Structure 1
Amino acid sequence: MRSEALQNWLNQFTSRSEILKNIRDLEKNNEELFEELLREGLTYEEVKSRYTDFSYYKGLKIPEGARALRAVEVYVGIMDFSDPSVMRLPGWHDGNTPSANLIDTSALFGALSKRIERPFLANKTIYSRSNCLIRYTGEALYQLDWDVLHALICFCRGQFNKRFEVRQIDILKMIGLSKAGYNYDLLKDSIVRLRKTDIYIESSSKSPAMSFSIGEVKSLPKGKRRRIDTFSLILEATILDNNVLALTLDARLKFLFGNNEYGLIDWEKRNKLKNNDIAKKIQCLISGQKTNMQRHRMEKLYQLMGLTSSFKEFTRLLKHACEVLLAAGVIKAYAIPAAPRGAGQDRIITIWTTEIPTPEELQAVGRVAAYACGE
């Protein structure tokens, strides 16, 4: 979400050409606002490519400051001055939903275990990739909650921080649930959970312009525990007449999809996965990677799911989830290697997402305990 300070700076000018004339002064006199404008611009692929792809010219390295200035100039040429909270992503249409890599490579939305009650997490550090810190307070979130949140993102059409209305039955239909009474209860409970979430996210990068944090860390008086003042995924939710919901999402959700760090999830295929949370979590994970042949450490998948079952049981559940993904057309093939004695958690599962594996790729996998290939 664009800060008031940056919006006020932009409001001084009546045209893009005036802004361009003053960009160098902004860079020199207010580095914080300049970096905010750059971060906003880097959510657009054409701006990001200008910033990252032109590191050298005629064999000479271009300084980061010059690349940043050029990227901001490109952004000024395309930016939307009136509605900075709207998220527009290439490839996003009515039949799919964007899926943020930063979230999908974390255990924030895990896999539901039917053997335990949904726990309440208090300022818990969530398993995530090495350059990301996520702290969470609230009831544990699972794939139903992921579905509900992303359905709301679709219904608001990326217009975060703006109130919108949607029928509950339309949400249920998008996420593949019937209009049975208990599904309305599941939906309402999920929205309450998402409304009450408190999350702090910090993502670091070699480039300061691509680093960001959502939420604020504040210290309490001496002797008190440090706490996190955070953002909730849903800012406001009320039930109107005829089972219509009025909702507002936090505009800072847009940061999660920046730097082209997102995949696209087909709703029809996802709904074929039914209530298999492990399959749904894997679908999210693989969607953000462009390669056909993907390799994932099974121990990492186990952590991402947040399950409490034994690793042996998880391996069985993982195999079943891969079969579900295969039947739904989400993947083309998978291979789980045989476990050397004493090294079960060190195995790497291989998944092919768009094309069936070649003989050379299968040979590279080695001896397998489970393998299946679709058409």
Structure 2
Amino acid sequence: MHRKETSAANAPTKLFLPGFDIGAMPNHLNRSSFIAPIARGRRKFHRQEIMVSRRDCVLQYTGEQLDEADGDILMALIFFAGFHPLGEAVSLNRAQLLQKIERNLGNAQYKWLHRRLKALTEGTLFLEAKKRDGSTKYKIGWSAAFHIVSSFTYDEIEKEYKYVLDPRWVEMFGNREYALIDWKKRMMLRRGQDMAKTLQRLIATSSDPLQHYALDWLKAKMDYSGRLRDFRDAIQCAVMELERVEIIAHGKIELSTKRKEQLSLWIEFNVA
């Protein structure tokens, strides 16, 4: 397995996703705390830390905690790289990248983008996906380091980036284990509504018209360190934002059959 992974890390591979446009992300990443709606300020630095995820995945991460803006950049990089075999360099004008994630153009935004690309390049993942019986389905980052962005360079004259994505991204997208985010609606979510963005990515991993998530698990997944009652208020605001842009029909916090608080989300608009 180790030699197979090392070989995969060095073999350019085309990423083919039926119906793919910008907004594709592997389900294991969407269901984890790898990207979280963190508050502004100094970011936590993880060092080989096990991130919050589901039982069918072990995700270990080293790097700055990533936020939803980083997630937008990553989805844009995956989109543009989809026109080339992963593992080959992709040329991309920095203004084009900012426009794709609907950010303003200007010196401050260019500096922000450069900082975040450095953080994505420094970040490394180890991911073990598991089968239902608990055995390993695949491992990524075990025998060859997996950087979120393998490498990037910047041409000052052309104002252009050249970046490389690891071919092993293809394995994480394999067997239709990915979500396609409604990018237009994502861009409609108001600034400061990152919790709504996190919920949008989570919702997209399932086709169930009614979804339930334990509130304590959501709090951990979103890396929310404040009081539970404040988290409830924040979640309710996020739900209202998802209702506003019609990503969900309805959502509310209620008790599960085990008398535990959960967030219930109705996805289909024709469900009473």
SS at match of 1:284: helix
Q: Deviation of residue 242 (structure 1)?
A: 3.0
Query: Per-residue CA shift, 1:50-78, capped at 9, x if unaligned?
Result: xxxxxxxxxxxxxxxxxxxxxxxxxxxxx
Asked if the contact 1:103–1:256 (Cα under 8 Å) also holds between the matched residues in 2, the reply is: no
Which structure has the higher relative contact order (CA within 8 Å, separation 6+)?
Answer: 2
Asked if residue 123 in structure 1 is aligned to residue 48 in structure 2, the reply is: yes
Tell me: CA distance 1:238–1:84, structure 2 relative to 1, closer, same or farther (3 Å). Answer: closer
Which residue does 2:87 correspond to in 1?
161
Counterpart Cα distance in 1 of 2:192 and 2:106:
16
Aligned to 1:355: 269
| Structure 1 counterpart of 2:117 | 191
User: Which residue is equivalent to 1:145?
Assistant: 70
Q: Identify if the C-alpha distance between structure 1 residues 125 and 332 changes in structure 2 by more than 3 Å, giving closer, same or farther.
A: same
Task: Give the 3-state SS of the residue equivalent to 1:128 in structure 2.
Answer: coil
Aligned length: 263
1:330 pairs with 2:244: no
Match of 2:141 in 1: 215
1:95-125 deviation digits (Å, cap 9, x = unpaired)? x3212111011101111213x5201111111
Q: 1:102 corresponds to which residue? A: 28
Helix, strand or coil at the partner of 2:269: coil
Q: What CA distance in whole angstroms lies between the structure 1 residues aligned with 2:130 and 2:220?
A: 21
Aligned position for 1:231: 146
Task: Name the counterpart of 1:263.
Answer: 179
Shift of 1:297: 1.2
Question: Which amino acid in 2 is paired with 1:301?
Answer: L
Q: Deviations over 1:327-354 (max 9, x none)?
A: 1221121122279xxx7xx311111223
Amino acid at match of 1:352: W
| Distance in 2 of aligned mates of 1:233 and 1:299 | 28
Deviation at 1:230, TM superposition (A): 2.5
Question: Within 1, Cα distance between the matches of 2:4 and 2:145?
Answer: 19
Quote the Cα distance in structure 2 between the aligned partners of 1:88 and 1:207.
Answer: 29
Q: What residue is the counterpart of 1:305 in the other structure?
A: 222
Partner of 2:17: 89
- Higher radius of gyration, 1 or 2: 1
| CA distances 1:2-47 after superposition (whole Å, capped 9, x unpaired) | x789x9xxxxxxxxxxxxxxxxxxxxxxxxxxxx9xxxxxxxxxxx
- 1:357 Cα offset (Å): 3.3
CA contact (8 A) 2:56 2:132 kept: no
Preserved contact between residue 110 and residue 305 of structure 1 (Cα < 8 Å): yes
Structure in which a larger fraction of residues adopt helix: 1
Aligned in 2, Cα 1:84/1:248: closer, same or farther, shift over 3 Å?
closer
CA contact (8 A) 1:175 1:267 kept: no
Secondary structure at the aligned position of 1:178 is classed as coil
Output the aligned Cα RMSD: 2.5
Query: What letter corresponds to residue 144 of structure 1 in structure 2?
Result: A
Q: Work out whether residues 201 and 213 of structure 1, in 8 Å CA contact, stay in contact via their aligned partners in 2.
A: yes
Pairing 1:172–2:98 present: yes
Scaled by the length of structure 2, the TM-score of the pair is: 0.88
Partner deviation per Cα, 1:176-217 (whole Å, 9 max, x = no partner): 211132221221111000100121111111479970001126
Cα distance in 1, alignment partners of residues 4 and 214 from structure 2: 44
- Contact 1:292/1:355, CA 8 A, preserved across alignment: no
Secondary structure at 1:152 match in 2: helix
Percent identity among equivalent residues? 24
| 1:19-34 matches, cutoff 5 A | none
- Structure 2 matches for 1:38-77, cutoff 5 A? none
Task: List runs of 5+ in structure 2 lacking aligned partners.
Answer: none
Q: What are structure 1's unaligned runs of at least 5 residues?
A: 8-35, 37-82, 218-228, 359-375
Report the counterpart of residue 202 of structure 2 in structure 1: 285
Correspondence for 1:136:
61
* Aligned residue identity for 2:208: T
Q: Which amino acid aligns with 1:333?
A: H
